[in-house]
Amino acid sequence: MRIMISADMEGATGVTWTDDVVPGTEQWQRFRRLFTGDVNAVVRGLHDGGASDVLVNEAHSSQRNLLLEELDERARLLTGRHKPLSMMQGIDSGVDGVVFLGYHAGAGVDGVLSHTYLENQITGVWLDGEPAGEGRLNAALAAEHGVPVLLVSGDDRTCADAASYAPGAELVAVKECVSRYAAICLPPARTAEMLTAAARASMDRAVRTPATAAAHRIEVEFDATHLAQAAAVVPTVEQTGVRRVGFEAATMTEAMKAFKVVTAIAAGAVQGKYG
C-alpha cells in the first residue's frame, strides 16, 4: 500500500501567526520541528495500518520546511520547488490514498491563517460553483486519479470544511480557531497521539479506484481590480467581474495548472503597500 502525504504548514500543531510559517524567521525554525513531528506521527500511524511506502510532498511556501534529519526513516520526502502539480505532486504516481496534513481554511472564511494559495490577495475561489479552499481543489484532483482522501488535519474550521469534500475521511483538529491569528492549541504529545490513531484507522479506506477525468470550472475573486485584469491576460481566462475571473478546463489536472498560472500572474501584479 503506497500513501502520499500533502504536508502544508499553517494547520500544523501550534501554528497561529505569520512568523510561525515564514521561512527565515526564528519562529519558523521552531515550528519546523513541530511540523516534522506531525508528519512523523502520521507516518507512524500509516505504517501501523499497513502502508508499505509513504511519500511526503512538502506543500508549504518554499516547500523546504521539513527537517529531513528528523523525518521518520520509513518515509520518502519530496522537497523543493517547482513542481507541476505543486501541493499534489505525486498523486499521479500510483498511490492508494492521500493525507492532507496541516491544511487550513480557504480564502474569505474564518480560520487560522485562512487563505487559498496567495496569502491575502484572493478573497474567494469557487470550483464548479462551490466555495473551494485548497482542500476541496486538491481533493478533486485526487479523485480524478482515483485516490481517496484518508485523513485531514488542521484547525476545527478546516475539519468542518473537509467533512463536505472528503466524507468518510478521518479528521484531526489540532487546534480550535479563535481568530485568524489566535487558536486554542493542544500540546504536541497529544496531537501526535491523535494523528497516529487517525492515520492508522484511515488505512481501511486506502483503495484506489479507476481514474476518471471530467471538465471543471474555477472562478477566482481578488481584493483589487488590477489583479483580475492581470490574470485575464492568460489565455482561456475571462474577467467576469471587476475583481473576478473564471476559466474552464477539460480535466482537473489542467484546471489546477491553470489556477497555478493565474495566482502567479496575480502575485506578480501586486505593487507594494497598495497591493
Helix and strand counts by DSSP (H, E) for the chain:
6, 12
**How far, in Å, CA of 28 to CA of 23, rounded?**
6
The pLDDT, as a whole number, for residue 107 is 98
pLDDT in tens, 110-124: 999 999 999 999 999
Identify any residues that bridge with 110 across adjacent strands, giving them in sequence order.
none
Confidence category of residue 189, pLDDT binned at 50, 70, 90:
very high
Q: Are 116 and 122 spatial neighbours (Cβ–Cβ below 8 Å)?
A: yes
The pLDDT, as a whole number, for residue 43 is 99
Cis peptide before 82 (omega within 30 of 0): yes
CA angle, 132 then 137 then 143, to 5°: 130
Q: Are 69 and 17 spatial neighbours (Cβ–Cβ below 8 Å)?
A: no
To which residue does cell 520518502 refer? 76
**28 alpha carbon, distance to own chain's centre:** 18
Residue 196 burial (C-beta neighbours within 10 Å; 0-12, 13-18, 19+): buried
SS3 38: helix
pLDDT in tens, 141-161: 999 999 999 999 999 999 999
Cα(first)–Cα(last) distance of the chain, in Å?
Answer: 46
